[in-house]
Amino acid sequence: MTKYQIHGGNPLHRTIQISGAKNAAVAIIPAALLVDGTCRIENIPQISDVTLILQILQELGADVRTVNRTTVDVDCSRVRNRQVPYELARKIRASYYLVGALLGRFGWAEVPLPGGCDLGGRPIDQHIKGFVAMGAEVEVRNGLIYAQVPDRGRLTGGQVYLDMVSVGATMNIMLAAVLASGMTVIENAAKEPHIVDLANFLNSMGADIMGAGTDVIKIRGVERLRGGAYSIIPDQIEAGTYMAAVAAAGGEVLIQNVIPKHLDCITAKLVEMGVEVEERDDAVLVRRNGPLNRVNVKTMPYPGFPTDMQPQIAAVLCLARGTSVLIEGVWDNRYRYVDEFRRMGARIQVDGKVAVIEGVGGLTGAPVHACDLRAGAAMVIAGLAAQGVTEIDGIHHIERGYETLVEKLSGVGADIRVIFVPDEESQSQVG
C-alpha cells in the first residue's frame, strides 16, 4: 500500500504547470469513436482515468498510439466491438460517454453502469431521456445499459430539455447527436469549459455544433467526421486546487498553462478571503502572506463555484478567521471527508447539504483517508498547511485526476513524498 506523507508548514514558491483537463479528456477520447480516421489528441493528462478510457477503446478494437508524453493518436476506423468490458467500465464514471459515442456510430451499445466517486445518487436518467428523444430504445438490466436504434440504423435529431443541468447528459447527447439525421436541440444544457472543449473537438473533425457554452446547444447531424489534431484545454480544477494550496500554505506561486477566465469563479472567492491573484495571459500568480477571511460559498454549475473545488475550499476555510457557511448545490453527499478533517483539528458541522466551518488557528498533522478524488486533494491541501506529519491513504483516488501531484508540489517547496507501507500494517488498519 502506498500513502502520501506530508511534513506541513512550508510556504509554496516558484511555478507549477497545469496539465490537460481530465473531464474534457475523458469525453474527447470516446468521441474519437465517431471519427473516420486518426485523431491526434494533444495535452492529454497522464492520470489513471485517462489510461482506463484509452484501454477501453483498445479493447473495443481502436488503434491507440502514444506519440509523446501528452499526445496520442487514436484511430477507431476498425472498431467492430460495441460491448464494453465490465471490469474496466465499472472503475470510471466517464464510461457512460461510450453509450452516446457507440450509439451515434453504430446504432447500438452495451455498456456496464459506470463507477467513479461516491457522491450520493448518480442517476443517468437525463442521458437516457436524450437518447430516447433521438429514437433509441434504452434499457438498464443486470448492471448494463442496452441502447439501440430499432433496426440498428441512424439516430434522428430530437428536442431535449434537461430537468437539471447535467454535464454528463449534455456531453453524451452531443456525442449521440453529431452523426444523427437532422437537428438535435439541448435546452438547459451545462456550460462548463469541457462542454465547449468537446464541441470544439467535434467541430474541428467536421461536426456542426452551435451554442456550446450557452444553455441551448444545437447539433445539426452530419454524414461523417474526418480525422485531425486537437489540443485539450488546461484543467480548471487542477489549477484551482493548486491555487487553494497556496492560499492554505502561504507563499507565492505562478500557476502556468491555464485559461484565467475559467478560473474566475475560484479566483473571486480566494480574493474575498484576502488572497492576491494576478491574471496573466495564460497564467495566474497567487500570493498569500496575511490572514484569511471567512467567506460563504455555494457550489453551482458553471459559471458558479465548482462542486469539484468544494472539499479543497473547505480545507482553506478551516484556516480562516471566523465562521464560513458552505452549501453543496450539486451533489447529495459530498461531505464524507469531514470526519478526516476533524482528525486534523478542524471544526465543521454538517447538516444535509450545508457545512458550517469554524476557522481554527491551524490544523495538526494526522493519518487520514482520501475517500474520493477531490476529498483526497483537500487532504493534501490540509496536510500542506498543518503543523506536523499527515499521512494520506487511498491515494489511488487522487491519482485518477492529478498528474504527478507529488512532483508538482515538491517543485514549489512542499515536503511531500510517496511512502510504501507493508501490507500487514495496512491490513491491521482496516476496521
Grid cell, residue 11, equals 510556504
In angstroms, the CA 42 to CA 238 distance is: 17
Which residues inside 320-339 make contact with ligand EPZ, applying CB under 6 A? Answer: 330-331
Closest Cα partner for 243 from 194, 315, 173?
315
Which of 123, 322 has the CB closer to ligand EPZ? Answer: 123
131 near ligand EPZ, rule: CB under 6 A? no
CA 186 from centroid of its chain's CA atoms: 22
What's the alpha-carbon Rg for the chain, to the nearest Å? 22
Nearer to ligand EPZ, 189 or 292 (CB): 189
Q: Hey, which residues does 41 pair with through a beta bridge? A: 72, 230
Cell of 141: 438490466
Write each residue from 267 to 306 as x if it is in contact with ligand EPZ (CB under 6 A), else as -, in one continuous string.
----------------------------------------
Judged by beta carbon, residue 19 or residue 307, the one nearer ligand EPZ is 307
Smaller CB distance to ligand EPZ: residue 5 or 310?
310
Distance from C-alpha of 411 to C-alpha of 17, rounded to nearest angstrom: 10
d(CA 352, CA 344): 22
Choosing from 14, 61, 65, 125, the residue that interacts with ligand EPZ (CB under 6 A) is: 125
| Largest CA-CA distance found in the chain, in angstroms, rounded | 66
Which residues within the stretch 145-164 sit at the binding site for ligand EPZ (CB under 6 A)?
164
Map residues 12-51 to x or -, x wherever contact with ligand EPZ holds by CB under 6 A: -----------x--x-------------------------
The number of residues that bind ligand EPZ (CB under 6 A) is: 25
Quick count: other Cβ atoms within 10 Å of Cβ 46? 13
**Residue 127 lies near ligand EPZ (rule: CB under 6 A):** yes
Q: What is the closest distance, in whole angstroms, from the C-beta atom of residue 119 to ligand EPZ in the complex?
A: 6
The end-to-end CA distance of the chain, in Å, is 16
Q: Residue number with the shortest CB distance to ligand EPZ?
A: 168
If the CB atoms of residues 353 and 408 are measured against ligand EPZ, the closer one turns out to be: 353
Nearer to ligand EPZ, 288 or 400 (CB): 400
* Of 340, 380, 115, residue with least CA distance to 238: 380
Q: Which of residues 62-121 bind ligand EPZ (CB under 6 A)?
A: 93-94, 117, 121
Contact between 60 and 99 under an 8 Å Cβ cutoff? The reply is: no
Restricted to residues 227-256, the positions that interact with ligand EPZ (CB under 6 A) are none
Residue 124 binds ligand EPZ (CB under 6 A): yes
CA angle 159, 214, 325 (to 5 degrees): 115
Q: State the binding string over 302-321 for ligand EPZ (x if CB under 6 A, else -).
A: -----xx-------------
C-alpha cell at position 223 = 454524414
To the nearest 10 degrees (0 to 180), the angle between helices 167-177 and 22-31 is 20
Stretch that binds ligand EPZ, among 10-18, 165-173, 223-231, 346-354 (CB under 6 A): 165-173
Least Å distance between CB 91 and ligand EPZ? 12
User: Are 29 and 40 a contacting pair, CB within 8 Å?
Assistant: no
Question: Which amino acid is it at 275?
Answer: V
- Nearer to ligand EPZ by Cβ, of 23 and 200: the residue is 23
Binding mask 189-208 for ligand EPZ (x = CB under 6 A): -x------------------
Shortest Å, Cβ 197 to ligand EPZ: 11
CB of 379 to ligand EPZ, least distance (A): 14
**How many Cα neighbours within 13 Å face the side chain of 163?**
8
Of 169 and 368, which has the nearer Cβ to ligand EPZ? 169
**Least distance to ligand EPZ from the beta carbon of 212, Å?**
15
User: Per residue in 382-419, is it b (16+ CB within 10 Å) or e — as a string?
Assistant: bbbbbeeebbbbbbebbbbbbbebbebbebbebebeee
Residues 351-380 interacting with ligand EPZ (rule: CB under 6 A):
373-374
Residues 390-409 that bind ligand EPZ (CB under 6 A): 401
Which long-range contacts does 270-278 make (Cβ < 8 Å, 24+ apart)? 270/243, 270/244, 270/316, 273/247, 273/316, 273/317, 273/320, 275/243, 275/246, 275/247, 277/243
Residue of 117, 265, 318, 371 marked catalytic = 117
Reply yes or no on whether 76 is catalytic.
no
Q: List residues binding ligand EPZ (CB under 6 A).
A: 23, 26, 93-94, 117, 121-127, 164, 166-169, 190, 307-308, 330-331, 373-374, 401
> Active-site positions?
117
